[in-house]
Amino acid sequence: MSRQTKSTSRIDSEVDATYGIDVSKVDTAVLARITAMAFRHKARMAIAIVATLSAGGFQLFVPQFLGQAVDLARGLLAGAAEGSSGRAAAEEALATTALLLLASAVARGLFTMMQNYQGEAVGQLIGYRLRLEYYRKLQSLSFSWHDRVHTGDLMTRGILDIEGVRLWVDTGILRSILLTVLIGGGATILMQNDTTLALVALGFVPIVGVRASFARLKLRDTWIALQDQMSLLTKVMEENLGGIRVVRAFAAQAHEMVRYDGVANEALEIASRRVRLFVHSTTQMTFVYFLAMGATLWVGGEKVIDGEITLGQLTEALAFMLILQMPVRQIGWMINSIARASTCGGRLFNVLDLEPSIGDTPDARPLEVTEGVVRFEAVDFRYPTWAKNDRTLAEIEIEARPGKMVGIVGPPGSGKTTIAQLLGRYYDVSGGRITIDGQDIRNVTLESLRNTVSIVQQEPFLFTSSIDHNVAYGDPWAGRSSIERSSQAAQLHAYIKALPGAYDTLVGERGVSLSGGQRQRLSIARAILPDAKVLVFDDSTAAVDAATEKRIRDALRDFVSDRAVIVIAHRLTSLMHADEIIFVEAGRIVERGSHDELMTAGGRYRQLYELQSRETGDEQ
């Protein structure tokens, strides 16, 4: 299998792993994985489990002490008839039982508090770790994967799904241990008193278990549907907020409200269906529980009348059932937690388990730059997730040397931006190779490559931070003098100094407080700040007027004298002074040479030059 075929299959597997897997089939393995994450915190989980066992054990003492108290109370009545000595003994025993009951209740409360604290702590630690791992994975996955996955879906997984996973410790693991202790311990104690009464009192347990299992399957399906709908809701909101100026410009608020309401209403219907299912199943389980309690009272009462058991033993059985009332109700919550944890964990792990299609090879070494010569050698490329048959680039041959500028021009969609993305290795070539000083960029580490190649993107992105932080993003340790020097080269320093906060001025979200030209100039300043040996300007002055562009070009002349420079542009004035100009059309190089050579040849370049000259003359 060829290198590119392997890369393509990896990209396809990334997308399939994210969307193509039926998450509803994932259950035991996902829950076991989350449980293993919890037990990495051995001390906390040990304390939580011991506290849970202790809380359950002390809770089991309560019904026994109540039963003893009832029998002692009857003895007290009998002792009153016999004399003061019998009465005093009965009162002393009753007081001791009351103190033991109080001590058991206090101990149970303290251990329950400890269980809740440690369970919540472990859940928060799991959530913290998953957030970091998820964010780290998103940073490493290839552009091909990000091209196919919506931001809203990723945000939903990073927030709601992680929340569903972290709750598993408290609502799943510890709660199941507590239920086991209460039901198992209670059954053992009741069996010792009277087997028939115990079977009647605990007869609701298997019925509830079967009903809860069926409810679990349905709750799981509805939770998956709700998560998908919430992802869609997040997508709609994210798109609306990102394009809020377009919405306001076309007075489309009413349309957006109708659109959002439609998606939100579907989410509400799914949530309502989940609530109805949950309430219905819980109601059925509670009804069975009270039915069993009534049967226990009837059968136990007959046995008391017949003298087979004491009134205290009947009270003990009823008290056990009262204690189990809340755990029985919690079975529904625990089943819901199982469904939510397995579903959320499956969706989350599908992303965490992905292997990036673009990454360091096992034998990758740091790029060693000697001259800084860039070569495209018979490069072919096609986007594996878009065009399955047509090549975006074919037989591309380019050489860029330090101190020389290579210009790339061509009609929209001809593959110019793809050339820049291949040089930064955002994608891997389909054929041929790209080298820097003779080293194939696929065989060097990504970090060293991207420290060497600085690309000014076609669409500049700015962070919600101060101007100096945005400029210094490429080199966080740069001093203020270096930041100002790169801003001066980008013809932005004078504008920044005129602002009230100068370089400390806060840039709005995505740089909305700056004009398009200012955003591009800030992006240029950010790209030239690091000591990168290769600079690529991808139509980075399209929003800048011609006079400012000339000043930027003049300022950069000395700045890039020892760097290889590639300029991609639609406007020929941006690159007509380049040492070599390459005209790309339909993914192929159709012309190359200097401006004068291409003008003399009278081909596509000259036609484009004359067309742009006429348009400029008409505007003037």
The per-residue pLDDT for 542 is 61
The pLDDT value recorded for residue 50 is 92
**Lookup: tokens for 407:** 């210009």
Q: Which of 561, 580, 579, 574 is nearest to 608 (CA)?
A: 574
pLDDT at 213: 65
- Judged by DSSP in three states, 395 sits in strand
Q: Which pLDDT band holds residue 51 (cuts at 50, 70, 90)? A: very high
- pLDDT tens digit sequence for 64-79: 878 777 777 776 655 5
| First-residue to last-residue Cα distance in the chain | 58
Nearest Cα neighbor of 262 from 239, 229, 240, 231 is 229
How sure is the predictor about 21, in pLDDT bands with cuts at 50, 70 and 90?
very low
Helix axes 516-528, 546-559, angle to 10 degrees: 0
Checking if the pLDDT of 6 tops 70, the result is no
3-state helix, strand, coil in the chain (%, to 5): 70, 10, 20
Residue 405's SS3 state is strand
pLDDT in tens, 366-403: 888 888 888 888 888 887 655 455 677 888 888 888 88
Cα–Cα distance between 348 and 154 in angstroms, integer?
A: 9
**Shortest CA distance to 338 belongs to which of 175, 115, 207?**
175
> For 163-214, how does the pLDDT look when each residue is reduced to its tens digit (9 = 90+)?
888 888 888 888 888 888 888 888 888 888 888 888 888 777 777 767 776 7
pLDDT digits (tens, 9 = 90+) for 493-519: 777 788 777 877 777 655 556 666 777
pLDDT at residue 543, as a whole number: 58
Separation between Cα atoms, residue 323 and residue 334, nearest integer Å: 17
* Other CB atoms within 10 A of residue 603 CB: 14
Collapsed DSSP state (helix, strand, coil) of residue 450: helix
User: CA separation (Å) from 359 to 352, 355, 451?
Assistant: 15, 9, 15
What is d(CA 489, CA 487) in angstroms, rounded to the nearest whole number?
Answer: 5
DSSP per-residue string spanning 492-520:
-HHHHHHSTTGGGPBPPGGGTTS-HHHHH
Indicate if the pLDDT at residue 60 is higher than 60.
Answer: yes
φ/ψ of 394, rounded to 5, equals -145, 125
**Strand spans (E) along 327-451:** 374-381, 393-400, 405-409, 431-436, 439-440
* Eight-class DSSP state of 158: I
Q: How much is the pLDDT for 78?
A: 59
No. of helices (H) and no. of strands (E), the chain:
23, 10
Average pLDDT, the chain: 78
The residue ranges of DSSP E strands in 315-424, in sequence order, are 374-381, 393-400, 405-409
**pLDDT beyond 90 at 461:** no
**Residue whose entry in the numeric block shows the structure tokens 């949950």:** 278
User: Domains along the chain?
Assistant: 10-352 (1.20.1560.10), 374-458+534-619 (3.40.50.300)
- In eight-state DSSP terms, residue 282 is H
- Highest mean predicted confidence (pLDDT) among 56-70, 206-220, 542-556, 602-616: 56-70
Check whether 247 has a pLDDT greater than 50. yes
pTM of the model: 0.70
Among 19-33, 95-109, 323-337, 475-489, the range scoring the smallest mean pLDDT is 19-33
- Angular region, 283: left φ>0, alpha ψ -120 to 50, beta rest: alpha
Question: Which of 381, 193, 170 has its CA nearest to residue 299?
Answer: 193
Say what the pLDDT of residue 410 is.
Answer: 83
The two tokens of residue 70 are 């009832």
* Phi and psi at residue 609, to the nearest 5°: -65, -45
What is the pLDDT, as a whole number, of residue 555? 66
Say yes or no to pLDDT of 47 above 90: yes
| Whether the predicted pLDDT of 12 surpasses 60 | no
For the cut 90, the answer to whether the pLDDT of residue 292 exceeds it is no
Of the listed ranges 37-46, 558-567, 597-606, the one predicted with least confidence: 558-567
pLDDT of amino acid 239: 74
State percent of the chain over pLDDT 70: 82
Full DSSP string of 543-601: TS-HHHHHHHHHHHHHHTTTSEEEEE-SSGGGTTTSSEEEEEETTEEEEEE-HHHHHHH
Rounded to an integer, the average pLDDT of 272-289 is: 78
When comparing pLDDT for 265 and 463, which is higher? 265
Q: How far apart are CA 310 and CA 432, in angstroms?
A: 91
- Residue with more model confidence, 21 or 56: 56
Mean pLDDT of the region 57-67: 83
